[in-house]
Structure 1
């Protein structure tokens, strides 16, 4: 197995640049997730590593090899796509071993590799079935098995769960995490689902408009985001953002009846605008004239999500684990500890520290 290094990687389509000077180190055996909104360049970057997209400039290394101009088939990678791309007339076993057969491997070697991949993915009972006799989750496991038998240096996953229903997505997430634990391979995984990113990754790369916004472990990005974009993208439900103004060394929130927030971070000049971020689980509500109205309550059993609208029009989500019986349309006071707030420059959106 090998790590992957990108140095000043650039991708252009004509005059349009979609990947901007990417520098990234993915260590041997690491599970790295590219995450970001649609159109941020995460799949393009994955395809550049795979060799399916030409790198305009910069360098891509897999292990010690410079593969920037190497053909995709020679890079030592295996890719699992959003669509299963299985041959309908072949059995599971034949689909998994197809690549090895095309490369002229002996039948005994192919059988051994298919058997090992089948054991890892728990497909022994399905080896003689055709893809049409499998569920969506089983088909995706076959596609992953086809990648395993090739024995690649790096596994690449391009939104492999997006075609599955919610329950199967959870099951396959567990399968992929278990697979990584068992074989210890370097894996690079693309998703727009930050829950997948948080649960699978050793390292998350947050992308926006072809630029890396931040790289770190899931909890590093969750607890210590560098900017408002990362803070709002990592975490579910998303962080709440309220407009504040610096007054007398504190931040005043007009949306919450001029509630003052005390902080030790370096604030900009008096009168400057500051964005205050607070995660839904750090908020609470109680009855009273606090500048917000309980618009809707979403009950999910052990937890509820309260959707508030401030008198300034700002929207707030509160994670509620109490048996609160406040009726919808009630005026509420929003509470939180000053230490739970994060502060962002209103112009640059960078974190104030």
Structure 2
């Protein structure tokens, strides 16, 4: 297996530049997830690693080899797409072994590798079936199995779970995590779903508009984001943001009618800042009467209370009460001030 190094990667389509000087090192055996909103360049970056997109400038190395200008077949990678791309007239076994068959591998070797992959993915009972007789999750496992059989140095996943329903996505996340643990390969995984990123990754790369915003372990990004974008993108439900003004006692937040104290070094008094508070760091105070509950999502062990603040802004509060506030109620809020984050109103960089 091998690591991947991207050095000053730039991608242009004509006069439009979509990837801006990306530098990144992915260690051997690491599970790295590219995450970000649609159009941020994550799939383009993955396709450049695969060789499916030309690199305008910069260098891509896999292991000790510079593969920037090599054909996809010479890079030692295998890609799993959002669409399963299975041959409908072939059985599962034939689909999984087709790549090796086309490169002239002996039948016995193909059978051995397909058998080993099918055991890992629990596909032994389906080897004789054709894709139309499989569920979506089973088809995706076949697509992953086809990649395993090739024995690549690096696995590339391009939003492989997007076509599955919610239950299957959870199941396949566990399967992919188990697969990585079992075979120990370097994996690069693209998703817009930050829950997938948090679940699977050793390392998350947060992208926006073709640039890396921050790189780190999932909990590192959650607890210590560099800027407002990362803070709002990592975590579900998303962080609440409020406009605030620096005062002598901390930051006054007119939207919620509270002053949030902090030990963080902030600009001079009267300066505008942004205050970020996660839903699990706010508590609903039933005795208050300053905010209106719009709707409450009761999910069993946890509820999410959606409120309209006194200035008309919206916020979400995570509640573990057996009887959470109901729609139409007016309530107050209490904030865990030690967990609040503060961002520059202009640059959106975090004050630390």
Q: Give the shorter-chain TM-score range.
A: over 0.9
2:201 equivalent in structure 1:
201
Deviations 1:268-315 (A, max 9, x none): 121111111111111111124453211111111111110010121111
Deviations 1:327-347 (A, max 9, x none): 322221110121010111111
Distance 1:117 1:151 in 2: 10
Deviations 1:100-154 (A, max 9, x none): 0000001111011001001100100000110100000000000000000000000
1:223 equivalent in structure 2:
223
- 2:85 maps to 1:89: no
Q: Higher mean Cα deviation, 129-138 or 261-270?
A: 261-270
2:292 equivalent in structure 1:
293
Q: What does residue range 175-186 of structure 1 map to in structure 2 within 5 Å? A: 175-186=175-186
Aligned alpha-carbon RMSD (Å): 0.9
Distance 2:131 2:324 in 1: 50
Shift of 1:326: 3.5
1:104 equivalent in structure 2:
104
Given that residues 274 and 344 in structure 2 are in contact (C-alpha distance below 8 angstroms), is that contact kept between their aligned partners in structure 1?
yes
Q: Higher mean Cα deviation, 322-331 or 265-274?
A: 322-331
1:80 equivalent in structure 2:
80
Gaps of 5+ in 2: none
Q: What does residue range 1-353 of structure 1 map to in structure 2 within 5 Å? A: 1-257=1-257, 259-289=258-288, 291-353=290-352
Deviations 1:59-92 (A, max 9, x none): 0000000000011110000000000000000000
Shift of 1:227: 0.4
Given that residues 292 and 329 in structure 2 are in contact (C-alpha distance below 8 angstroms), is that contact kept between their aligned partners in structure 1?
yes
Distance 1:191 1:282 in 2: 27
Given that residues 249 and 259 in structure 2 are in contact (C-alpha distance below 8 angstroms), is that contact kept between their aligned partners in structure 1?
no
Distance 2:323 2:88 in 1: 54
Inter-CA distance 326–50: structure 2 relative to 1 (3 Å threshold) = closer
Gaps of 5+ in 1: none
Instruction: Report the TM-score when normalising by structure 2.
Output: 0.99
Deviations 1:221-241 (A, max 9, x none): 000000000000000000111
Shift of 1:21: 0.2
Distance 1:150 1:274 in 2: 53
Distance 1:173 1:327 in 2: 34
Distance 2:271 2:290 in 1: 22
Distance 2:128 2:270 in 1: 71
Given that residues 249 and 270 in structure 1 are in contact (C-alpha distance below 8 angstroms), is that contact kept between their aligned partners in structure 2?
no
Distance 1:344 1:285 in 2: 24
Given that residues 288 and 333 in structure 2 are in contact (C-alpha distance below 8 angstroms), is that contact kept between their aligned partners in structure 1?
no
Given that residues 255 and 291 in structure 1 are in contact (C-alpha distance below 8 angstroms), is that contact kept between their aligned partners in structure 2?
no
Distance 2:322 2:125 in 1: 47
